[in-house]
């Protein structure tokens, strides 16, 4: 008799911090890929509120932003019937595994993390231990769900590498416990740069609001921000070294339209930057329009959001609990 082979779906996990209104960088570098991959894989997606407190947060704002980011995950089209959508702090296993993994991570390797170096400069008055061990919590997030693939922007690559190192080290000592995750970093959009300083990553914490587009900006604001984007004096739309501003706009346009860099260069041959910027803004406006519209509906339905979070926490706790138990047993804890 012929046997039917059912191939196990690969697992993906990713998280986003509720530390402000997400930007076009978050959307193109991560969220858009989450939606695409969620249709193909078993997905788990979290609002990483535990990570957010490594920088001082206003309590009321943190609560509000956590709900907003949860609503955004639904607005981008993630389906809570298909993917596990949850708030990180609702699943205590994250903090528990992070503690265990802290004891399998070397001070020296953490000391090399560039994000820690950057953030300890920008938050010099609060260089707390959580900020330092942040990548271990991130490793716990990933390893609890036995994720094969982690869709992130390029800025998270180093954190993914350490998650892999921790998983390999633990597996080496105790036998196969964790899936070793691979990063999934999109070709375009992996590093969306500031519109005002294209040598810097687009960031929601940029003190200059013209530098970033928020996913909830109105079409008028988006147009204005792109019109004032920094470019160069060559007046030729082509992807080349030294043309950071134009390269960034081309990357954004490519993500929204699916066109290659060559196709974009052809489309704008003989046209000025003014025309190009307007077309990039229009493409972004159309890309974000359905997200904003769905978001505006979902955010008003508090009961639905609560229900999604509760269901997500329940499923996530079950999955994470299995891995946590297995890990604790291997380490030698007396199980209750």
Contact with ligand TYM (CB under 6 A): which of 150, 162, 167, 319?
A: 150
Number of residues that bind ligand TYM (CB under 6 A): 24
Instruction: Tell me: does residue 249 bind ligand TYM (CB under 6 A).
Output: no
Rounded to the nearest 5°, which phi and psi values hold at 295?
A: -60, -45
Contact with ligand TYM (CB under 6 A): which of 97, 167, 192, 319?
A: 192
Give the three-class secondary structure for 206: coil
Q: Is 32 a catalytic residue?
A: no
Instruction: Tell me: does residue 16 bind ligand TYM (CB under 6 A).
Output: yes
Helix residue ranges, H only, the chain: 24-26, 32-38, 49-52, 59-75, 93-102, 107-110, 114-122, 129-144, 157-174, 219-227, 244-257, 261-267, 273-298, 302-331
Q: Is 195:172 a contact under the CB 8 Å cutoff?
A: no
- 27 or 268: CB nearest ligand TYM: 27
- 194 or 327: CB nearest ligand TYM: 194
Show Cβ contacts of residue 39 under 8 Å, excluding neighbours closer than 6 positions. Answer: none
- Closest distance of CB 53 from ligand TYM, Å: 12
Rounded to the nearest 5°, which phi and psi values hold at 331?
A: -70, -30
- Distance, in Å, from the CA atom of 154 to the CA atom of 289, rounded to the nearest integer, reads 25
For residue 13, list its beta bridge partners.
44
Instruction: Tell me: does residue 201 bind ligand TYM (CB under 6 A).
Output: yes
Q: Is 329 a catalytic residue?
A: no
- 164 or 191: CB nearest ligand TYM: 191
- Distance, in Å, from the CA atom of 52 to the CA atom of 26, rounded to the nearest integer, reads 15
The DSSP output letter for 28 is: I
Query: What are the contacts of 208-211 at 24+ separation with CB within 8 A?
Result: none
Residue of minimal Cβ distance to ligand TYM: 29
Near ligand TYM by CB under 6 A, which window of 37-45, 125-133, 135-143, 295-303?
Answer: 135-143
Instruction: Tell me: does residue 26 bind ligand TYM (CB under 6 A).
Output: yes
- 181 or 233: CB nearest ligand TYM: 181
Catalytic residue, chosen from 10, 157, 204, 330, is 204
Near ligand TYM by CB under 6 A, which window of 15-23, 216-224, 225-233, 255-263?
Answer: 15-23
- Sheet of 84-87, strands arranged across: 84-87, 42-47, 11-16, 149-151, 182-184
89 token code pair = 């702090």
- 16 or 280: CB nearest ligand TYM: 16
User: Which residues 31-60 are close enough to bind ligand TYM by CB under 6 A?
Assistant: 48, 51
Near ligand TYM by CB under 6 A, which window of 26-34, 56-64, 103-111, 241-249?
Answer: 26-34
Q: Is 201 a catalytic residue?
A: yes
**Contacts to ligand TYM by CB under 6 A:** 13-17, 25-26, 29-30, 48, 51, 138, 141-142, 150, 152-153, 155-156, 190-192, 201-202
Query: Which residues are catalytic, by number?
Result: 119, 201, 204
């Amino acid at each position: 008799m012929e046997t039917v082979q059912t191939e196990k779906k690969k697992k993906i996990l990713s998280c986003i911090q509720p530390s402000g209104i997400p930007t076009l960088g978050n959307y193109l570098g991560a969220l858009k890929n989450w939606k695409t991959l969620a249709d193909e894989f078993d997905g788990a997606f979290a609002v990483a509120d535990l990570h957010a407190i490594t920088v001082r947060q206003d309590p009321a704002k943190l609560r509000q932003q956590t709900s907003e980011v949860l609503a955004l995950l639904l607005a981008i089209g993630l389906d809570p019937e298909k993917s596990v959508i949850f708030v990180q702090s609702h699943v205590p296993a994250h903090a528990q595994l992070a503690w265990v993994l802290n004891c399998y991570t070397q001070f020296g390797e953490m000391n090399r993390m560039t994000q820690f170096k950057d953030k300890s400069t920008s938050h010099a008055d609060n260089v707390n231990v959580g900020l330092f061990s942040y990548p271990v919590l991130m490793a716990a997030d990933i390893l609890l769900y036995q994720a094969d693939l982690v869709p992130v922007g390029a800025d998270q690559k180093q954190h993914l590498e350490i998650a892999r190192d921790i998983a390999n080290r633990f597996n080496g000592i105790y036998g196969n416990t964790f899936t070793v995750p691979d990063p999934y970093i999109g070709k375009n959009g992996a590093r969306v740069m500031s519109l005002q300083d294209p040598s810097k990553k687009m960031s929601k914490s940029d003190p200059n609001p013209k530098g970033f587009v928020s996913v909830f900006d109105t079409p008028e604001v988006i147009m204005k921000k792109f019109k004032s984007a920094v470019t160069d004096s060559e007046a030729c739309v082509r992807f080349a070294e030294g043309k950071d501003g134009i390269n960034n706009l081309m990357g954004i346009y490519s993500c929204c339209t699916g066109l290659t860099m060559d196709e974009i260069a052809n489309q704008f041959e003989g046209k000025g930057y003014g025309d190009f910027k307007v077309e990039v803004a229009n493409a972004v406006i159309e890309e974000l329009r359905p997200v904003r519209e769905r978001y505006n509906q979902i955010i008003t339905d508090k009961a639905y959001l609560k229900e999604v979070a509760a269901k997500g926490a329940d499923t996530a706790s079950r999955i994470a609990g299995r891995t946590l138990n297995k890990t604790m047993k291997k380490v030698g804890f007396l199980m209750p």
